[in-house]
A and B are shown apart, each in its own frame.
Chain A
Amino acid sequence: MPLVLLTLLLGCPPEPPATTKTPCGTLLAIAGDPSVPVTLETGAVGLIRTYPLEVTAAVDVTWSTSGAVEVVDATGAVLTTVQGPGELFLRAPSEGEGEVLATWGDGCRARLATVAQAPAPLIGRPRTLAPFWHSATSFLEGETIYLGLDAARFPDRVGLAFDAWVVAHRSLAEWESDPVLAGSGVQSAIAAGALVPVPLAVADAGEDALAAIDVVLDFDRDGVLGPGDLVQGLGAPGASVIGDLSAPGPHAVETVDVSGGWFLGQRVWWPTDLAALGPRPLVVISHGNGHEYVWYDYLGEHLASWGFVVMSHQNNTEPGIEACSTTTLSNTDWLLGHLDEIGGGALLGLVDSSRIGWIGHSRGGEGVVRALDRMADGDDVPDNYGPDDIAFIASIAPTVFNDVDESDPHDRPYFLIAGTADGDVTGGVDYDITQFFRIWERATGPKAAAYVHGASHNDFNCCAMQEGQGPELIGRVEAHVVAKAYLLATARAWLDGEDALLAHFRDEFTGFTPLGLAEDDLVATSWRNATSAGDGVLDDFQAEYDTDVSSAGAAVESDAGGLMEGRLRDGDRVMGWTNDDPFNGMTHNATPGDDARGAVFSWTEGSAPSWAVAIPRALTDARPWSVVSFAVTQRSRHPLTVSWGWALAFGVTLVDVHGAEATVDFADQALVPTPYARLGLGPGRGWANEFVTVRIPLVDFRGIDLHQLAWLRLDLGEAHGAPEGALGLDSVEFAR
């Protein structure tokens, strides 16, 4: 039982206050403040996430409950009667208020109020602006993991001491069989008032550059996870620590060049200890036009050092996208059909043909998408694999020759990486074929993007001529660091199920840039869940084109300047600013087959406008989701973008039905990058729009009723970080 116990005195009718002694005597003892409801967390399994009650009197007690609470014994069985003394437990089958009524003796009764809530992150990192805290489940190696307990969330536990432990993740079965907390805990207590971050541990990712951890707050301080303790990490890991994904992996690498004939030349890499690893996924690299398949050693060696079998092949790019998709299909098929011949049979039985990742560069980047589309449409049926075996696709600065019905990533996980200084597939507004974000928009599966400031087209191979255009070119060496980190993250996530590595896209809120990148590298990242994920769309601008109605049919109120909805398409194909082209610099929508839409608005110095969307009735209870998410960009060469001239921030406010508000400011993160200062296509500086996805944990909006939300509001102006600015906005939603 807990070391810290307050005696709860409950007794005869009329029902007394919880702390009043009555002739019925003392019945129960609990750990927390008996004057406030006991806080429970849902998801109890066995006795974990239950709350202990000690029956102190030797009496027969009858229990009844109402609402979201149950009384159980040490086996987890629901109780209706018990003979004291002994230990009982409360658990919450669902969220909400509850009440426990105990009766005993000659009309003695006691009542205990409970509040059950879903578990929320216990850890995160401090911030310098409201709410001064960021709940997090992903950390970079070497970063300090902070504990952040909200007294408002656990009012009954304020002042209680506990030991906080950061331990390697255990499965639920492992916790049940071994609840002992190894190592050393950090003693702390929940402070009343504002959340006070407490440093817990320095994050360690280990040799695999990814460690799963759990966090336990051991309230009885017995060194064991048990009833009454709080835990982050039952079932799924509580949090993850990510190491340097750009550094070589733990495996030595072998490589060989092979050829099966016309356009079947291949370079293959694999971990030397492949036989010990068992069947491993295959990553295929399809080069671009004017490139060679032997120009991707940096990537092949890197991925193989992390345990993948990698093949780069001759790609028939010059005739066009159909031809290069053919060589992607045929080379993948040839390799899988000739494993006995490659490297003396070193790969035989050791390539998992059901987990294939295709990475293509330039025309090859579109070719891999087209190849999937051909298989998905039944137009091409390889002998040794099928469309369901393509686990993810990555395109490096892809062309977009085809329309959406031909170059379609379908529902496959999709990653786009490109450079803002690309001098070939420029990403510019003047040429549809180079607007690679159009492919990204087509993908309906989970998708990520990384738009790398200062990277050129040919930085992503070893040897093609340097064509970069723009200031502060990062060069080939640094571009390889960036590519290795992001491509390894996506390959491990989508081929090996290590989803935590996608934090580099999903958790960018606090600048979650991969380790290994230079300090001044700037990468605009985007993330979108699969359309089938069931995110709660507040306004994606795909319907209801009036600016005072959201796509969900709810009200929109805004006093921002120049509010307009439209296609994410530059209207005059010139990058120079004109007032007639409010979507200047947008490159997500070019042809009638593209459908991406968004909104634009601006504000001037001295004003403090906002953009607010009413939360539709079906979404007012935000419990199914974990973050507020939206995509936002500064508008290229807009006079107010130029005038501000810096990365930009604003405030995000949620308002509940009672009128209570909570604001998260992110001026300390300044997330929305200033457009890359590239010249060309008209007067001024600034290239294509760089949307970033901002995802803010819902639990960080404290002090409001997240179950009954009314409005989401973006607060603009100097008080929130930027006295002036011009923004593009898309995909405002509650997301997982």
Chain B
Amino acid sequence: MILLFVLRVVSATPFVLVEPYRSDWSAAHPVVRGGTVLVLEVDPALLTMTNTPRPVLYVGEAPVEVLARDVDAGLVRVVVPGALGAEAFIYFGGAALPETITAEAGARELASARAAGLLPLRIPVSAAAVTVLDHAALAGR
């Protein structure tokens, strides 16, 4: 496995949703009630979009929803549902469609990444959780 590392976590903003939504970004379709919006710095080449499968971005064992990307700057803004500790394994796994990633597949990806030497990244949570109305408002932030 060739690990595709996330370079750093630029920012982390906790949020709470007034109107939860059902995420399309894994086979489990978790309901997102709150979590953390991360801005990550990555290799810009990993942010180009094609219609064939691209490496999936994970935090821990779960794919994360991409809200926005700045390919030129190599920045990507993602949603991590639920609680997030002071550190997390953040990495690009194998090419796939995120909606097809089961919990078992996610666990395998993390195990492979850790076996390949993946280390956790520090999460620089810098503020108290903000209240956001809904999914659209979250994407617009």
A residues near B (Cβ < 8 Å) are: 261-262, 288-290, 316-323, 326, 362-363, 399, 401, 424-425, 431, 433-434, 457
Contact = CB atoms under 8 A, between A and B. Distances in A.
Interface residues of B, number: 19
Nearest to A265: B136
16 contacts: A261-B136, A262-B21, A262-B134, A262-B135, A289-B49, A289-B50, A290-B50, A318-B98, A320-B97, A320-B98, A320-B99, A321-B97, A322-B99, A399-B51, A431-B52, A434-B52
Interface string B70-90: 000000000000000000000
B5 interface: no
Nearest to B136: A262
A363 B98 CA distance: 14
Contacts of B51: 288-290, 317, 362-363, 399, 424-425, 457
Given A289-B50, A425-B52, 14 more contacts: A262-B134, A262-B135, A262-B139, A316-B24, A317-B51, A318-B49, A318-B66, A319-B99, A320-B97, A320-B99, A326-B24, A399-B51, A424-B51, A425-B51
Interface in B43-58: 48-53
B100 interface: yes
Contacts of B48: 290
Contacts of B66: 318
B50 A433 contact: no
B99 A290 contact: no
B114 to A, nearest CB: 25
Most chain A beta-carbon contacts within 10 A, residue among B48, B97, B98, B100? B97
Interface string B33-49: 00000000000000011
Contacts of A317: 51
Contacts of A433: 52-53
Interface string B83-112: 000000000000001111000000000000
Contacts, number: 52
A434 B50 CA distance: 12
B96 to A, nearest CB: 9
A693 to B, nearest CB: 27
B14 to A, nearest CB: 21
Contacts of B49: 289-290, 318
B69 to A, nearest CB: 10
A644 to B, nearest CB: 33
A424 B50 contact: yes
Contacts of A289: 49-51
A319 B52 contact: no
A288 B25 CA distance: 17
Most chain B beta-carbon contacts within 10 A, residue among A261, A363, A401? A401
A372 to B, nearest CB: 18
Contacts of B99: 319-323
B98 to A, nearest CB: 5
Interface string B20-31: 010011000000
Given A262-B134, A262-B135, A401-B97, A322 B52 contact: no
A728 B126 CA distance: 64
A729 B77 CA distance: 51
A319 B97 contact: yes
Contacts of A399: 51-52
A428 to B, nearest CB: 11
Contacts of A401: 97
Contacts of A424: 50-52
A318 B99 CA distance: 9
Nearest to B134: A262
| 5 A-B pairs with the lowest CB-CB distances in the bound complex, closest first | A290-B49, A320-B97, A320-B99, A362-B51, A319-B24
A495 to B, nearest CB: 27
Nearest to B21: A262
Contacts of A319: 24-25, 65, 97-99
A321 B51 CA distance: 10
A319 B25 CA distance: 5
A541 to B, nearest CB: 30
Nearest to A261: B136
A435 B136 CA distance: 35
B24 A323 contact: yes
Contacts of B100: 320
B128 to A, nearest CB: 25
B61 to A, nearest CB: 17
Contacts of A326: 24
A188 B61 CA distance: 82
A424 B48 CA distance: 12
A380 to B, nearest CB: 14
A317 B66 CA distance: 11
A152 B9 CA distance: 85
A389 B42 CA distance: 45
Contacts of B97: 319-321, 401
Contacts of B50: 289-290, 424
Contacts of A262: 21, 134-136, 139
B33 to A, nearest CB: 16
B132 to A, nearest CB: 12
B105 to A, nearest CB: 13
A324 to B, nearest CB: 9
Nearest to A425: B51
A425 B21 CA distance: 31
Contacts of B139: 262
A499 B111 CA distance: 57
Nearest to B96: A320
B55 to A, nearest CB: 12
Most chain B beta-carbon contacts within 10 A, residue among A319, A363, A425, A433? A319
B28 to A, nearest CB: 12
B124 to A, nearest CB: 26
A344 to B, nearest CB: 24
A290 B49 CA distance: 5
Nearest to A289: B51
A317 B53 CA distance: 11
A296 to B, nearest CB: 16
Contacts of B136: 261-262
A401 B51 CA distance: 10
